Chain A
Amino acid sequence: MKVLTIIINWINAAVISGTPLLLATSGEILTEKSGNLNLGVEGQMYMGAIAGLAGAWFTEKWFGVGGIIPLIAAVIFAFLMGCVSGLIYAVLTVTLRANQNVTGLTLAIFGTGFARFFGEVLSNKAGGFVAVGRETKEVFYIIDFGKLSEIPVIGTLFFRYNWLVYFALIIAIILGWFLNRTRKGLSLRAVGENPGTADSAGINVTRYKYAATTIGGGLCGLGGMCMSMVSQKGVWQPNCVSGYGWLAIALVIFATWSPLRAIYSSIIFGGLTVMYMRIPIPGLPREIYMMLPYIATIIVLVLTSIRQSKEHAQPASTGYNYYREER
């Protein structure tokens, strides 16, 4: 019975820590479906993290309210900041035809610097460190489902999460539906697979690339907000994203570009990142144990590259810019 409780609690923790991963992975899937390989997710998450926190903090300060209004501000600011970061990437790669890899890496460096810079400025302003009020923190706590959450096993597995968990799930499902069941989704996939053909069919390649990259960036920004508001409980930490952005890019490969498969993939990886706290392995030093998610990522990368399947491959034009005159 004790083992079962540990495992169930571990799954619960896995879902919670997998949520920012799921949001960022969904965003990156949307971006890559348009043929843009954006390596800047880490930077985008950082930008979303600081924008969300700053949004909530300033709303609290200026309007003197806590709770739901700062929460809405955090969501809007994080999403918009993520959109801006996606837009920077789109302008550089789509319009100005810059190399996608380098642009993405620059975005990662820039975003990290941006967030740390404004995070520290904000901390100085707040007199030491930035933290949102108790009321705002509480709206990011686990939702009270009353009797539902007290059901053994099922209660813990399904009804003991914060709202972002359900939100991220809905986003992933909507994205899966959008990509596979709508006309626009089909067009977007066409753009990612073969922009030349899509262009001939009358699809506005530039518009699709811009839209997907911008909204994808916005989702990454929300993932970042999840890190700063939920994982760090509304306190600014200069290292709050700590590699989750890179894990998200790896998860896109693990989930084989499907938002629905991203759901369980992110739970698995969320589980790996918290495993050292939940399931101690005797004789294994904690510091070595903490390498687990990174080692698992490498194993996933190697395995997926060994058994490459045509059906679950990345969109064919990913990583290459589209030059209309070179069709």
Chain B
Amino acid sequence: MTEQKYNDVAALKEQPNVPCPPAKDLHPLMKEPLVRMTKRGVVTTKHKAVVYVVGFFLALLVGALMLLAVGKNPLIAYRDMAVGSFGTAIASAETVRIAVPLLIASVAVGFAFKMKFWNIGAEGQILAGAVACSYIVIHSINNGNYIPKLPLHLIMVIFAMIGGAWFGFIPAFFKTQWGTNETLYTLMLNYIAIQYIVYLQSLRTWQDPRSSYPKIVDFSTFTEGKVELPRLFGVHVGWIFALIIAIIAYFYLTKTKHGFEISVVGDSMNTARYAGMNTRWIQIRTLLISGALCGFVGYLQVAGANHTLTETAAGGVGFTAITVAWLAKLNPFVMIPISIFIAMLQKGSLFIQSTMRIPASVADLLTGLILFFMLGCEFFIEYKLIFRRKRNVSRLEQKEVTV
């Protein structure tokens, strides 16, 4: 009966007497701990899947308890979230629209995270890209709207990527030069970017003359629709770019020299240095790419989703992207379904806000819970727990007792 627990042969071979050490081996004063843990020899895919599924449902269960605590029916809430995010074609399109920036930003922060460079400034990098490409639009508008559609978009993309890359470069430079804490640095840049957009809203050349409160002009009406990205299946074409980026990123990380360098730097900076890698340049280069991708998200938000520039253009994407990247284990392919799932939570939460009066912030709550449980899962995949059993009772006798 106990043997069934060890379904893999390797573990059995390694530890023949694992279940309970004979009591005489222990010093009389030493008590066997109630629970102890050992590393698993071989981790099977089945075991992994079981742990993840259990963890996921536990997260939903805790979320359900919180919904119950505020007097809502969690089952209806979860069902409505699914219906609200994929029930109709319009809802599905909206869900994908939320997933697009999330996916690209996750790929971007994934690059940095793989290097153990804690870039939590995706938000700021997105906004920097958005500001940079909006600058071109505003410039065009103020000069008689002279740039034709295609060149306008090309210049916007280039500016957005330079803007984002710049915001990625600054912290990377200081980190590699003096070891400045990149977590806080990138985070402070988020606030600076938000504040800068608030400033732009009050600037005469950027402001919407018809609006009574500070707000940047609607690009769509002022450029006669030139800014708008075309749509395919009801969503702006950004989703195609997002998929392409995820695929390229996967091959970049796994099949190229650059990708290899990134993983070595992430695993051990000393090894990388010893192998003669230019760790400084690798970090700066990766952050330039990471920032540029975020800048591209900024462009998509301006040209595809909002058609204007607001301080909420990034809208928490930078933070949610961290969750997506980590849930996907930094694998760009896995980020595709996960970003769609998180987008589903967000869209679904907006739906239940209107139907069940459940605050939309339930999406953040659930995202956080799921990640908490997934982080905890890692432990149960890598280790197994062994509980103390009654002393002086041999396995055989124990069997008899239970029978």
Q: Which of B4-12, B128-136, B246-254, B358-366 contacts A (4 or more CB under 8 A)?
A: B358-366
- Is the CB–CB distance between B364 and A109 below 8 Å? yes
Q: Which residues of A contact B362 (CB under 8 A)?
A: 113, 117
* With known contacts A92-B372, A291-B196, A114–B184 Cβ distance under 8 A: no
Q: Does A285 contact B (CB under 8 A)?
A: yes
Best-buried of A113, A116, A243, A246 by chain B (most CB within 10 Å): A113
Q: Which residues of B contact A250 (CB under 8 A)?
A: 184, 188
The majority secondary structure among interface residues of chain B is helix
Q: Which residues of A contact B180 (CB under 8 A)?
A: 301-302, 305
Q: Does B209 contact A (CB under 8 A)?
A: no
Interface string of B354-394 (1 = CB under 8 A from A): 00010101111111110110011011000000000000000
Within 30-80 of B, Cβ neighbours of A (below 8 Å) are at: 66, 70
Query: How many residues on the A side are at the interface (Cβ–Cβ under 8 A)?
Result: 50
Which of A39, A96, A109 meets B376, CB within 8 Å?
A96
- Is the CB–CB distance between B191 and A243 below 8 Å? yes
Query: How many residues on the B side are at the interface (Cβ–Cβ under 8 A)?
Result: 44
- Is the CB–CB distance between B365 and A97 below 8 Å? no
Q: How many pairs of A and B residues are in contact by the CB < 8 Å rule?
A: 138
Q: Which of A2-10, A59-67, A100-108, A197-205 contacts B (4 or more CB under 8 A)?
A: A100-108
Q: Which of B99-107, B145-153, B275-283, B319-327 contacts A (4 or more CB under 8 A)?
A: B319-327
Q: Does B155 contact A (CB under 8 A)?
A: no
Which of B66, B365, B375 meets A103, CB within 8 Å?
B375
| Pairs across A and B, CB under 8 Å, 29 listed | A91-B376, A98-B378, A99-B375, A105-B118, A106-B323, A107-B368, A109-B319, A110-B368, A110-B372, A113-B362, A116-B361, A117-B365, A118-B70, A120-B359, A124-B357, A246-B184, A287-B195, A287-B199, A288-B196, A290-B198, A291-B196, A294-B188, A295-B192, A301-B174, A301-B181, A301-B184, A302-B180, A305-B178, A306-B178
Q: Does A298 contact B (CB under 8 A)?
A: yes
Q: Does A80 contact B (CB under 8 A)?
A: no
Distance, CA A95 to CA B36, complexed state (A): 11
- Is the CB–CB distance between B365 and A114 below 8 Å? yes
Q: Which residues of B contact A118 (CB under 8 A)?
A: 70
Q: Which residues of A contact B369 (CB under 8 A)?
A: 110
- Is the CB–CB distance between A97 and B379 below 8 Å? yes
Distance, CA A120 to CA B368, complexed state (A): 18
- Is the CB–CB distance between B188 and A298 below 8 Å? yes
Q: Does B243 contact A (CB under 8 A)?
A: no
- Is the CB–CB distance between A96 and B375 below 8 Å? yes
The 5 tightest CB contacts between A and B, nearest first, are: A110-B368, A113-B364, A287-B199, A120-B359, A116-B361
- Is the CB–CB distance between B184 and A105 below 8 Å? no
- Is the CB–CB distance between A294 and B375 below 8 Å? no
Q: Does B341 contact A (CB under 8 A)?
A: no
Distance, CA A285 to CA B201, complexed state (A): 12
CB distance from A247 to the nearest CB of B (A): 9
Q: Does B187 contact A (CB under 8 A)?
A: yes
